[in-house]
Structure 1
Amino acid sequence: MVAGRNTPIPSLHLEPRLFIMCVGVLMRALCSCCPTPCECPSPCECPARDNSTLCRRRFLSIVPSDLPTFSQILDLSHNYIRAVPSNAFTHLKYLQELDLSYNQLSRVEPGLFSSLPALRVLLLHHNELKLLPPGIFLGMPALSWLDVRRNQLVILLDQTFQGLRELKHLETGENPLLFVSPGAFLTLPQLQRLGLEDTKLNGVPSSALAALPRLSELRLGGISSSVLRDLSFPDLPLLRVLELDSWPSLGLLEPHSLSGLNLSSFSVTHGNLTTIPEEALKAQIYLRTLDLSYNPISELPARGFGTLRRLEELRLSSGRLHYVPSGAFYGLGRLRTLDLSDNPLTWLAEDALPSPLGGLETLLLSNTMLSCDCRLCWLLHRRLRFGGKSPVCAAPDSLRGMVIPDDPEKLCPDLFTCQPPRIVNPGPRELTVREGDVLTISCHSLGVPQPSIQWVLPQSPPLEDTTVRRVTILPDDALQFHPVQAEDSGAYLCTASNVVGNDSTWVHLEVVPYNGSNVPSSVMAVNGRLLVVITAGGILPFISSVTLCFIFMFLWSRGRGNIKHTAHIDYVPRGNRASTDTEDNKFTMKLL
């Protein structure tokens, strides 16, 4: 029978007590599937919008037992958790991110992560883990990010990361790692980013790295070796970013140390490089970013970066560069940023930077003290942005401390000028001294920029700022003889020069040869005292030894008891005239 339009629909009437009982049964059934599906652990927060359970900084010492089943994000960081039971997370089937960082974990229980099929991010950094047993990460097939930095790991064993075939980002740095087993990364075919910085390894773990064919970024540091050996990174065709930072002893990159790589970014910072590794960099023609900051690099070779024609950013800050020579950055037509900050720079050669037609936009010169003279005008006319802190004038004295602005107006040529050298206070030009004296000849000059001093000895090549036998150039450019000898007689030329000219002066030296009549009385007095000391030094030991012998003889004789001072000796005289009287055949001998 089909009900008509006006046919009444029968209604269902339930008693109130029966309705409440049905709702209670339904809620109990739901709770049987989840320990607390709608409740949040008392010390935590559980925002419903993203199914997260936030227990950060709650002074927890254990993991709460009533974690919501449907949690997708669980944050237990910055607590005091020392251990986690193996069944603490077994009911969290939907968990995607687990943060246990900044706790006091010293070990991971076997099977702790075996029931987290949806987990993608696991953070265990800043704990006290000493060992990661092989297979400890089994049960997380979807994991893509693992961070175990800042623990106490000393070794990575074979199969440590077994089962993490989807892992793309691994952080293991800042651990006292001494050894990485060749098979440590064998089961990570998808790994793209690896951090191994601030370790204690003896060298690059080349064998272990060769198992990562998709690796594109590698950070490596803290290694004790001073040399980066040839072929250190084999079988890494996709590696594009290589950072060798905080490697204090690294002083040499062998010519083929980067062979087989096509890098776009390369950095060696906080190392011990004293020169640009030209040979190692020569083949990196696709390099776009190069950072060699915080190395004691004191000199830039001409055209040292000539093959890096795609380079866009070059950083050489915190080195020991005193000047930038001509052609230092030749060929870098695409360079956009050049960082020379925190170097003891005084000037840059006019043709040191790439051609003005290039793309250089920012020149960082923070904390540099430049010589503000005409040599700097060309740089100001390039209208580059200094960025950060602008450089400051170190010379001349009238401009010392002035901040150099980007705008060159009213600076060149009104303030930034050059003056030719002028030797001042030349002193006596004719000198007569005795052989054996210590002599210092000064040569002071003024000019902008500060002139350089060069001395020319008679019938000798120019004397540089080094010690040549007894003759030395002091820090104030004075010429010192220590001591003067007869062959030093002659004419000495002092030359002061800078970019706009030079000045010179002659000094004629006459040395009076040494002889007895010229020996000063003070020297004779010193020799007389020396003779007395030597004589006394020879006589006194002799007298002391003789006296000591007599003392020992006296003591020995006194220890023998009564001593006879005379002895009566009988004797028989030769011949027939011998007397029969025995008294006549005796004599008395004194004993000493």
Structure 2
Amino acid sequence: MSLFSLTFLFLLLATHSAKPPFPCAECSPSCPHRCVCYENADLVDCRSGGFHRVPRGLPHGSWLLELGGNNLSVVGTHAFTGLRSLRVMVLTDSQVEEIQPQAFFSLSFLEKLDLSWNQLTILPVEFSTSLSALKELRLEHNFLHYISDYSFEHLDNLEKLDLSYNHLTVIGPGVFRGHSRLRQLYLHNNRLIVVQQGSLDMLPALEVLQLSHNNISHIDPEALAPLYSLALLALDGNNLHHLKFKTFNSLHTTATHIQLSGNPWSCDCDLHRVFTQWGISGLGRQPALHCRNCYSTGHYHDCSGHSGGGTSDGGEKQEEKQWKELGHRVSDTDSKLSILKSRQDKSH
């Protein structure tokens, strides 16, 4: 159920009002034509009113403004001047193609903003100016292909950001920098091809990172290192063939749930180490896995590689022997590293 459900908020405020918040479009001279204003509840409902621009004369004491289902096209500069009490604004499915600079000027107490299901391709650099109190921002189902390093600059209190179902191909370093309270980040169903080092910096509170159904083929080994609180990492449905062991080993949480299904894995011992170390089972049951044999036994010498072409039985045995020898060396190295780490931990 949507957090912006008008019915829910109507009932919620009704329980805290001295009088029930019945619609009173006529009794308030400040209620715009084709809108419904709810007395004592500070709710203004302008849904599907045929508006081509933000209506004028909105009550200055409004707490929630519903503008979904209109044909606004452009949200102009200072479109909401005077609505300093506004906490929730819904602009979903309103054909919005452009948000002009300082469109949300004076909305310094706004906590939830829904811009989903519109036609946005880019956000202005000044998008977040005056939105420092925002806790939830929904931008899913648009056509965004680029996010400036400064568009989210002032969203210091943001806890949930939904950018799913857009056309993003890359998230540059600095886009989310400073969002120390962000807990949920949804980037699934975009066109991302890489997770860059620095793109997730300074997100110590992030618990959910949804990256599924993109075209990600590479994750920088240090890209996930700044995530101290991660509980869910979804990478299913991408184009991942290999993973470096260090990629997940840099995570600071031991209970992170990682989703990796639906990738065209090419089995090697580094990948095997990832799956066994993190307890990810069912690798051999992946239908697109390019691997003859890769057991989840925890013993790296059981990992055998994919043959590039037809070989004789003797060639296959020789190749398998080489892989097992490599596996033994990897296993031995891991044991030594574990002992060294244990000694370092004791010394501290």
In the superposition, relative to structure 1, how do residues 225 and 267 fare at CA in structure 2: closer, same or farther (>3 Å)? closer
1:96 maps to a residue whose letter is R
Counterpart in the other structure of 1:266? 258
**Matched residues in 2 for 1:113 and 1:239: separation?**
32
Alignment deviations for residues 267-307 of structure 1 (CA, whole Å, 9 cap, x no partner): 1243323769541133336x8x9999985359997861769
Does the CA-based 8 Å contact 1:61-1:79 persist in structure 2? yes
Counterpart in the other structure of 2:83? 92
Counterpart in the other structure of 1:284? 278
- Which structure is larger by alpha-carbon Rg, 1 or 2? 1
Counterpart in the other structure of 2:190? 199
**Matched residues in 1 for 2:284 and 2:69: separation?**
36
Name the TM-score, length of structure 2 as normaliser.
Answer: 0.68
The counterpart of 2:137, out of the listed 146, 149, 157, is: 146
Counterpart in the other structure of 1:253? 243
Does the CA-based 8 Å contact 2:112-2:137 persist in structure 1? yes
Moved more, 158-167 or 82-91: 82-91
1:243 maps to a residue whose letter is A
User: Is 1:74 aligned to 2:65, yes or no?
Assistant: yes
In the superposition, relative to structure 1, how do residues 225 and 80 fare at CA in structure 2: closer, same or farther (>3 Å)? same
In the superposition, relative to structure 1, how do residues 131 and 298 fare at CA in structure 2: closer, same or farther (>3 Å)? closer
User: Is 1:164 aligned to 2:151, yes or no?
Assistant: no
Alignment deviations for residues 51-82 of structure 1 (CA, whole Å, 9 cap, x no partner): 21122233332222122222111111122111
Does the CA-based 8 Å contact 1:227-1:254 persist in structure 2? no
In the superposition, relative to structure 1, how do residues 141 and 267 fare at CA in structure 2: closer, same or farther (>3 Å)? same
**Matched residues in 1 for 2:198 and 2:66: separation?**
36
2:32 maps to a residue whose letter is P
In the superposition, relative to structure 1, how do residues 109 and 305 fare at CA in structure 2: closer, same or farther (>3 Å)? farther
**Matched residues in 2 for 1:101 and 1:142: separation?**
20
1:273 maps to a residue whose letter is W
Note the C-alpha offset of 1:191. Answer: 1.3
In the TM superposition, 1:119-134 aligns within 5 A as 119-134=110-125
Does the CA-based 8 Å contact 2:197-2:221 persist in structure 1? no
Does the CA-based 8 Å contact 2:102-2:126 persist in structure 1? no
1:280 maps to a residue whose letter is V
RMSD across aligned C-alpha pairs, in angstroms?
A: 3.3
Does the CA-based 8 Å contact 2:275-2:283 persist in structure 1? no
**Matched residues in 2 for 1:192 and 1:128: separation?**
26
**Matched residues in 2 for 1:268 and 1:238: separation?**
19
1:215 maps to a residue whose letter is L
In the TM superposition, 1:523-562 aligns within 5 A as none
2:278 maps to a residue whose letter is Q
What percent identity do the matched residue pairs reach? 26
**Matched residues in 2 for 1:114 and 1:47: separation?**
25
Counterpart in the other structure of 1:56? 47
**Matched residues in 1 for 2:284 and 2:31: separation?**
51
Note the C-alpha offset of 1:133. Answer: 2.4
In the TM superposition, 1:446-457 aligns within 5 A as none
Instruction: Count the aligned residue pairs.
Output: 272
Q: Which has the higher strand share?
A: 1
Alignment deviations for residues 84-136 of structure 1 (CA, whole Å, 9 cap, x no partner): 23233111111101111112212112111120121000111221222222232
Does the CA-based 8 Å contact 2:113-2:137 persist in structure 1? yes
Note the C-alpha offset of 1:198. Answer: 1.9
Note the C-alpha offset of 1:139. Answer: 0.7
Does the CA-based 8 Å contact 1:114-1:137 persist in structure 2? no
Moved more, 183-192 or 47-56: 47-56
Aligned residue for 1:266, secondary structure, equals strand
Aligned residue for 1:46, secondary structure, equals strand
The counterpart of 1:208, out of the listed 190, 196, 199, is: 199
In the TM superposition, 1:400-439 aligns within 5 A as none
Aligned residue for 1:253, secondary structure, equals coil
In the superposition, relative to structure 1, how do residues 77 and 123 fare at CA in structure 2: closer, same or farther (>3 Å)? same
Counterpart in the other structure of 2:9? none
In the superposition, relative to structure 1, how do residues 243 and 60 fare at CA in structure 2: closer, same or farther (>3 Å)? same
Does the CA-based 8 Å contact 2:78-2:105 persist in structure 1? no
In the superposition, relative to structure 1, how do residues 293 and 176 fare at CA in structure 2: closer, same or farther (>3 Å)? farther
Moved more, 270-279 or 291-300: 291-300
In the superposition, relative to structure 1, how do residues 50 and 222 fare at CA in structure 2: closer, same or farther (>3 Å)? same
Does the CA-based 8 Å contact 1:157-1:180 persist in structure 2? no
In the superposition, relative to structure 1, how do residues 134 and 302 fare at CA in structure 2: closer, same or farther (>3 Å)? closer
Aligned residue for 2:98, secondary structure, equals coil
Note the C-alpha offset of 1:207. Answer: 1.1
Aligned residue for 1:282, secondary structure, equals helix
In the superposition, relative to structure 1, how do residues 292 and 149 fare at CA in structure 2: closer, same or farther (>3 Å)? farther
Alignment deviations for residues 301-332 of structure 1 (CA, whole Å, 9 cap, x no partner): 7861769xxxxxxxxxxxxxxxxxxxxxxxxx
Q: Which has the higher helix share?
A: 2
User: Structure 1: where are the runs of 5+ without partners?
Assistant: 1-35, 308-465, 469-592
Does the CA-based 8 Å contact 2:177-2:200 persist in structure 1? no
Counterpart in the other structure of 1:238? 229
Counterpart in the other structure of 1:317? none
In the TM superposition, 1:579-590 aligns within 5 A as none
**Matched residues in 1 for 2:33 and 2:204: separation?**
47
1:109 maps to a residue whose letter is Q
Alignment deviations for residues 524-583 of structure 1 (CA, whole Å, 9 cap, x no partner): xxxxxxxxxxxxxxxxxxxxxxxxxxxxxxxxxxxxxxxxxxxxxxxxxxxxxxxxxxxx
Name the TM-score, length of structure 1 as normaliser.
Answer: 0.42
In the superposition, relative to structure 1, how do residues 290 and 243 fare at CA in structure 2: closer, same or farther (>3 Å)? farther
User: Is 1:184 aligned to 2:175, yes or no?
Assistant: yes
In the TM superposition, 1:290-301 aligns within 5 A as 296=288
**Matched residues in 2 for 1:115 and 1:215: separation?**
29
Alignment deviations for residues 8-32 of structure 1 (CA, whole Å, 9 cap, x no partner): xxxxxxxxxxxxxxxxxxxxxxxxx
In the superposition, relative to structure 1, how do residues 72 and 301 fare at CA in structure 2: closer, same or farther (>3 Å)? farther
Note the C-alpha offset of 1:255. Answer: 2.4
Does the CA-based 8 Å contact 2:197-2:223 persist in structure 1? yes
